[in-house]
Amino acid sequence: MDHVLQLKNVSKTFGEVAALHQVNFEVGTNEIVGLLGDNGAGKSTLVKIVTGYHQPDPGGEIYWKGERVAHLSVAKARDLGIEVVYQERALADQQSLWRNIFMGREISNRWGILDVNGMRSETDKLMNTAMGFTSAAVTSESTVKTFSGGERQGVAITRALYFKAELIVLDEPTMGLSISETKKCLDFVEGIKKAGKSAIFIDHNIFHVYPIADRIVVLDRGTVAGQFMKAQLTLEELISRLQRVAQTGVLDTSPQAMA
Amino acid sequence: MNTVIEAQRPKSPARAGNAVSRWARRNGLQIGTVGVALFIWLLFLIGAPRTFMSFDIYNALLITTPFFGIVAIPLTLVIITGEIDLSFGSLMAWGMTGFSVTYTLTQNFWLGFVACLLFGLLAGLINGLIVVKIGVPSLVATIGTQFFWAGAVLVVTNAQGIGLTFTQGSLLHAGLVGQLGGVLPMQFIWMILIAIVVWFLLNRTRFGAHVYLTGDNLDSARLMGVDVDRIKITVFAIVGLAAAFAGFVQSIQLLFFWPTMGQGNFLNTLAAVFLGGTSVFGGTGTIFGTFVASFIINAINPGIVAVGLTQYYTQVIYGFIIVISVALQALLRKRLT
């Protein structure tokens, strides 16, 4: 399988604390990887390495589409097409939808004068296609604070896809969402798959990750405790295994244990 | 009828409605500002019909409102970014200090005018650098620079004013405070021009889009590649430039530069921005609102005197307006989140 992103032997220590230890992690082309783990398992450290906020300790290697990336900075990650969707920090609440879609990447001429009509009509197009907002009451001029939690995640994901993100990192996108809103949000994550792009879906709610992930990676205390193709096991098996991880720190991935 | 529609879509009742109510909601604050203007005008019209039926009062408003309105308009940008500038009053006098020094040296008032603008621009730039690069909260930083520049003006001028009668008859005088067609004061024209330019900057350029984003959600703006530092420094610099210009306009109108000029503009300028609907929390605000509110604020003083109250009420009302406007914004914010 082609990999869009590969981490090899990545460790990260903060002073005395090893947040990640010898982690091997990869995301395939057009694959949705669910990243599960308790608080403190190293999920956010891993994400920050992927997005260039942290550099791995010497010895760790990062590959993008098979090519080694020597120094992955935030700017470099953006250029490669790695985009993070944070729940709280994704949108500017009091601004219109079109201003949020084009946030920081406004269409303008060389004098910096905005093409407002162009951005509005692009946003209208996206609303009818990618976002599926069909209600006449929502326009490209609607402020996003009136949107529900799931819709807001949808705006952020749509924005990432519109600007040709290759790998979208979703940091706990369903946190605090109601059941129906979670469903909406997960539909948008499935849209990433349909668009032929890849995603890392971080959550500690296994019920949200399981239905849409192709592969589930379990982090525990800074190491990869195990990973499964979803096809390999049922949700019930996964849950009982995760309980064992919590107790022992070891995830039994042997075929015997699977059976 | 409406209730049926809303019952069908219980999760988004706010979205039910037609284009008119949507327009009204989007421009609610501006409609509110115009409403307040009409209400106060009506109040004064009834309370003091003789004053408010005559042309003189309106002429006076057109002459004096730009003295602080020219500052209030760009100050709106600073407040939209979530910062505040309290030093603009001192910068008005500091710009004129630049004029005094340059004119004394060269006897060229055009050169003095340019120096005035440069002094203001630089002082504004310094405000921005202190806030952004050093990280001092703008509230404190600009209280500091407010005192600093006020003091610097007194030191440099030795607290001596300078008469400007020599500018009379010049193109500069006519262009800034002359009368267009013998009726409209030129400073009013300048205020309109500045409002249009700043409106365009704010609503139709990348820079303006980033001003809104910076104030609305600093983190997400930064994550999406907005250079929030540059935006903040720029808006502080623009206020410095505008304050110096307003100081020059006021001085050349009065034909005298008082070193304490600008100290009296503190309350009315801030009140104009907040009454105009600009949120102290950042992210929202309009130039139109500030423009209209500047005239409301300036009408209050003569209005109060005309209806027979003492002038002392003016300050009470300005303070009241600031607190009420900001309180309304705080309540609106709570309701919406």
- A106–chain B Cβ distance below 8 A for any pair: yes
Least reliable range by pLDDT among A110-114, A231-235, B91-95, B248-252: A231-235
The pLDDT, as a whole number, for residue A44 is: 84
The pLDDT, as a whole number, for residue B2 is: 39
- A146–chain B Cβ distance below 8 A for any pair: yes
Q: Which residues contact B17 (CB under 8 A, 6 or more apart)?
A: A137, B25
- Per-residue pLDDT band for A1 (boundaries 50, 70, 90) equals low
Closest by alpha carbon to B25, among A139, A90, A119, A103? Answer: A139
* Shortest alpha-carbon distance between residue A195 and chain B (Å): 22
pLDDT of B236 > 80? The answer is yes
The pLDDT, as a whole number, for residue B6 is: 36
- Per-residue pLDDT band for B337 (boundaries 50, 70, 90) equals low
What is the residue-averaged pLDDT of chain A? 85
How far, in Å, CA of A14 to CA of A184, rounded?
37
Q: B225 by DSSP, 3-state: which?
A: coil
The pLDDT, as a whole number, for residue A126 is: 87
Q: Write the secondary structure of B267-329 as one string of H (helix), E (strand) and C (coil).
A: HHHHHHHHHCCCCCCCCCCCHHHHHHHHHHHHHHHHHHHHCCCCCCHHHHHHHHHHHHHHHHH
How does pLDDT run across A94-103, given as a tens digit for each residue?
Answer: 899 999 999 9
Taking the alpha carbons at both ends of chain B, their separation in whole angstroms is 28
pLDDT, mean of residues B48-53: 88
- Per-residue pLDDT band for A53 (boundaries 50, 70, 90) equals confident
The pLDDT, as a whole number, for residue B130 is: 97
**Percent share of chain A, pLDDT over 90:** 26
- Per-residue pLDDT band for B4 (boundaries 50, 70, 90) equals very low
What distances in angstroms separate CA A169 from CA A184, B86, B129, one per listed residue?
17, 42, 35
Q: Which residues of A touch B221 (CB under 8 A)?
A: 92, 103-104
pLDDT of B13 > 50? The answer is no
How does pLDDT run across B57-89, given as a tens digit for each residue?
Answer: 999 999 999 999 999 999 999 999 999 999 999
Put simply, the answer to whether A135 touches B226 (Cβ < 8 Å) is no
How far, in Å, CA of B120 to CA of B236, rounded?
10
Closest by alpha carbon to A178, among A208, A158, A204, A200? Answer: A208
What distances in angstroms separate CA A183 from CA A31, A158, A235, B8, one per listed residue?
20, 16, 18, 20
How far, in Å, CA of A98 to CA of B100, rounded?
48
- Per-residue pLDDT band for A2 (boundaries 50, 70, 90) equals confident
Put simply, the answer to whether B336 touches A135 (Cβ < 8 Å) is no
pLDDT of A61 > 80? The answer is yes
Q: Give yes or no for a contact between A107 and A119, defined as CB atoms under 8 angstroms apart.
A: yes
Partner residue facing B217 (CB), from A78, A91, A146: A91
The pLDDT, as a whole number, for residue B336 is: 59
How far, in Å, CA of A137 to CA of A127, rounded?
12
Partner residue facing A112 (CB), from B12, B26, B205: B205
Put simply, the answer to whether B217 touches A113 (Cβ < 8 Å) is no
Q: Which residues of B touch A94 (CB under 8 A)?
A: 212, 216, 279, 283-284
How does pLDDT run across B188-197, given as a tens digit for each residue?
Answer: 999 999 999 9
How does pLDDT run across A159-172, given as a tens digit for each residue?
Answer: 888 888 899 999 88
pLDDT, mean of residues B32-54: 88
pLDDT, mean of residues B263-280: 92
- Which residues 76-95 of A have a C-beta within 8 angstroms of B? 78, 84, 86, 88-95
Q: Which residues of B touch A91 (CB under 8 A)?
A: 217, 220
Picking from A79, A86, A88, A93 by the largest number of B CB atoms within 10 A of its own CB, the best residue to mutate is: A93
How does pLDDT run across A118-164, given as a tens digit for each residue?
Answer: 999 999 888 887 777 767 678 888 888 888 888 888 888 888 888 88
Picking from A95, A148, A155 by the largest number of B CB atoms within 10 A of its own CB, the best residue to mutate is: A95
- Per-residue pLDDT band for A250 (boundaries 50, 70, 90) equals low
pLDDT of B234 > 60? The answer is yes
How far, in Å, CA of B321 to CA of B274, rounded?
8
The pLDDT, as a whole number, for residue A253 is: 61
Put simply, the answer to whether A145 touches B15 (Cβ < 8 Å) is no
* Shortest alpha-carbon distance between residue B232 and chain A (Å): 15
pLDDT, mean of residues B278-289: 93
The pLDDT, as a whole number, for residue B3 is: 37
What distances in angstroms separate CA A199 from CA A195, A219, B30, one per listed residue?
11, 17, 43
- Per-residue pLDDT band for B149 (boundaries 50, 70, 90) equals very high
Residue the block writes with tokens 């791995």: A56
Q: A193 by DSSP, 3-state: which?
A: helix
- Per-residue pLDDT band for B254 (boundaries 50, 70, 90) equals very high
pLDDT, mean of residues B84-105: 96
pLDDT of B9 > 70? The answer is no
How does pLDDT run across A225-237, given as a tens digit for each residue?
Answer: 888 888 777 888 8
Q: Which residues of A touch B216 (CB under 8 A)?
A: 92-95
Q: Would the ipTM clear 0.90, i.e. be above it? A: no
How does pLDDT run across A180-216, given as a tens digit for each residue?
Answer: 888 888 888 888 988 899 999 988 788 888 888 999 9
**Percent share of chain B, pLDDT over 70:** 94
Put simply, the answer to whether B213 touches A92 (Cβ < 8 Å) is yes
